[in-house]
Amino acid sequence: MTTMTEASVREFRMPDVGEGLTEAEILKWYVQPGDTVTDGQVVCEVETAKAAVELPIPYDGVVRALHFPEGTTVDVGTVIIAVDIAGGEAPAAAAAPAQAAAPAVAGEPAAPEAEGSGRQPVLVGYGVAASSTKRRPRKAAEVPAQEPAAAAAVQAELNGHGTAAHAAPAPAPVPSPAAVPAPGPSDASVGKARPLAKPPVRKLAKDLGVDLATVVPSGPDGIITREDVHAAAAPAQAPAPERPEAPQPVPAAAPAPAPVTVPAPVVSYDAARETRVPVKGVRKATAQAMVGSAFTAPHVTEFVTVDVTRTLKLVEELKQDKDMQGLRVNPLLLIAKALLVALRRNPDINASWDEANQEIVRKHYVNLGIAAATPRGLIVPNIKDAHDKTLPQLAEALGELVATAREGRTPPAAMQGGTVTITNVGVFGIDTGTPILNPGESAILAIGAIKLQPWVHKGKVKPRQVTTLALSFDHRLVDGELGSKVLADVAAILEQPKKLITWA
């Protein structure tokens, strides 16, 4: 019994930005219930694991409700705002109940799948999502009412593979033995779309040998949870009898899944003296990436201390050059240029390791990453095709990268596809460090603080500007000789900047 008012309401779902992300945190709402919105107007700002993104609304109308407050982490595909489009040009097919609709893609209304040829709203900075995108399978509660017998049979079969704890909300009548086929591992998955589960859950299922197509989901919107996988794996782990004549020995012989029933230890802390901060957004993504990198790629770090006095003098001269006026000129600029020249002289280090195919992928381009500390955490945007840029172009790109990162406006695309990274720990007064590789890259160069130190120069001890460089590299594809050559070349250029001309 849908009223005309309900039919005019459009529910906008958290879009998928196309980067493999499954959730986002609502940072700020720009509208409130009762506000009028127009097609393309930004209604909120969200933070994914990669960047902060503004979301536009894809229709005209009046805001009816905001479903989540600021600071809430919401799964992709979840309704976040409802807009009343009464008086607008709403398609006739939009009157279907929202709960029967598939999750919308980036900026697409949560209406049933329509074949309309009108506007396809998209997220800012992304292309139009293809209309052929596969949707998740509907939950048991969403099976059409006109097929109760089929629904009951499928549910009974799923219950045979899973556990009674995840049965359908409404108990289905038990079908006759002839109506229920013998349970088989492939029966439940025939004709169904790919089950909806997050990457960690998919990995858990793979490790336990559980077919996700046979798991009954209990999470919101039909998402399979870790508990569902454990429940589905429990019967499989019990040794089943080979002969049917054995009088059901499984319950007595199989060990009970004790870890599932053991209560979690109670963690107490002093609220007056401690603060707990949820790990989410950029911080969560960084933690996962660093753990994956540290325990996947065998790291080797080499160090060199170098006199950069001449480089600092060149920096001061470049600041006065008319071709560099208005650009960001600092030691980082020349260090970046030195690394690019070293990579050109030793191209084999600019590569990545393909674990699936057991191949080394050598890159004929350099997307130079620059690690940037922001209020939301560490991010590593990169300068695309940095190897082709002149010094003024490189200075301009560095300036834009730093300014955008400080404002928290770095787009996700700017943090994809990096090949080699520079991290400047010297700005914090640190001499050096052992940096961890950005996932998918072969090397990362750390720059220490530049300090006036006693140094032997032309046979005499003099005060010179000195810094320590540290290069970490993936020892699967970079051996000690290659890594040493790259680091030595960077040091030689910084000590004698004229090599930028002779080696370029």
Q: Is the dihedral of CA 162, 164, 168, 172 positive or negative?
A: positive
**Which residue did the predictor score with more confidence, 140 or 75?**
75
**Which residue did the predictor score with more confidence, 27 or 281?**
27
Model confidence at 476: pLDDT above 80: yes
Mean pLDDT of 345-349: 96
Measured in degrees and rounded to the nearest 5, phi and psi for residue 387 equal -65, -20
pLDDT of residue 107: 38
Model confidence at 119: pLDDT above 90: no
- Of the candidates 229, 232, 208, the one whose C-alpha atom is nearest the C-alpha of residue 159 is 232
The predicted-structure confidence for 157-213, as pLDDT tens digits, reads as follows: 444 444 434 444 444 444 444 444 444 444 433 445 677 877 777 878 887 888 888
Burial 45-75 (b: 16+ CB within 10 A, else e): bbbbbbbbbbbbbbbbbbbbebbbeeeebbb
pLDDT of residue 196: 83
Model confidence at 5: pLDDT above 80: no
Mean pLDDT of 324-338: 94
Mean pLDDT of 267-282: 76
Structure tokens at 141: 């509660």
**Please, are residues 488 and 471 in contact by the beta-carbon 8 Å criterion?**
no
Model confidence at 247: pLDDT above 90: no
SS3 203: helix
Residues, the chain: 504
- Of the candidates 457, 436, 502, the one whose C-alpha atom is nearest the C-alpha of residue 310 is 457
pLDDT of residue 496: 96
Which residue type occupies 474? D
Instruction: Considering the candidates 67, 161, 457, 475, report the single residue annotated as catalytic.
Output: 475
What are the boundaries of each domain within the chain? 4-100, 146-240+248-261, 282-502
The predicted-structure confidence for 222-239, as pLDDT tens digits, reads as follows: 888 888 888 887 755 444
Structure tokens at 58: 């894809």
pLDDT of residue 131: 39
**Please, are residues 441 and 352 in contact by the beta-carbon 8 Å criterion?**
yes
Looking at CATH, the fold of the domain delimited by 4-100 is given as: OB fold (Dihydrolipoamide Acetyltransferase, E2P) (2.40.50)
First to last CA, the chain: 74
pLDDT of residue 388: 95
CATH no. of 282-502: 3.30.559.10
Model confidence at 85: pLDDT above 90: no
Model confidence at 454: pLDDT above 70: yes
**Please, are residues 385 and 364 in contact by the beta-carbon 8 Å criterion?**
no
- Which of 103-117, 319-333, 347-361, 436-450 is predicted with the least confidence, judged by mean pLDDT? 103-117
Task: State the DSSP H helix or E strand holding residue 397, giving kind and residue range, or none if neither.
Answer: helix 391-406
Confidence band for 262, pLDDT divided at 50, 70 and 90: low
pLDDT of residue 218: 86
- Of the candidates 16, 129, 32, the one whose C-alpha atom is nearest the C-alpha of residue 83 is 32
Model confidence at 53: pLDDT above 60: yes
The predicted-structure confidence for 357-378, as pLDDT tens digits, reads as follows: 889 999 999 999 999 888 777 8
Q: Indicate the angle between helix axes 309-319 and 480-495, nearest 10 degrees.
A: 60
What is the percent of the chain where pLDDT is above 70?
69
Torsion angle defined by CA atoms of residues 489, 396, 413 and 37, in that order, rounded to the nearest 10 degrees: 160
Locate tokens 């940037």: which residue? 372
Model confidence at 295: pLDDT above 50: yes
Print the SS3 string covering 207-246.
HHCCCHHHCCCCCHHHCECHHHHHHHHHHHHCCCCCCCCC
Confidence band for 286, pLDDT divided at 50, 70 and 90: confident
Q: Indicate the angle between helix axes 331-345 and 391-406, nearest 10 degrees.
A: 120
Mean pLDDT of 23-37: 88
Structure tokens at 402: 């730093």
d(CA 330, CA 367): 20
Neighbours of 173 (CB within 10 A): 8
Model confidence at 471: pLDDT above 90: yes
User: CA distances (Å), 249 to each of 232, 238, 256, 258, 266, in order?
Assistant: 19, 10, 13, 19, 36
DSSP per-residue letters across 107-146: T--SS------S-----TTS-PPPTT---PPPPGGGS-TT
The predicted-structure confidence for 374-393, as pLDDT tens digits, reads as follows: 877 788 999 999 999 999 99
d(CA 408, CA 422): 19
CATH no. of 146-240+248-261: 4.10.320.10
230 is catalytic: no
**Which residue did the predictor score with more confidence, 11 or 52?**
11
pLDDT of residue 133: 41
DSSP per-residue letters across 243-275: STTS---HHHHSPP-HHHHSPPPPP---TTT--
Q: What share of the chain is helix, strand, coil (3-state, %, to 5)?
A: 30, 20, 45
- Please give the mean pLDDT across all residues of the chain: 76
d(CA 458, CA 289): 46
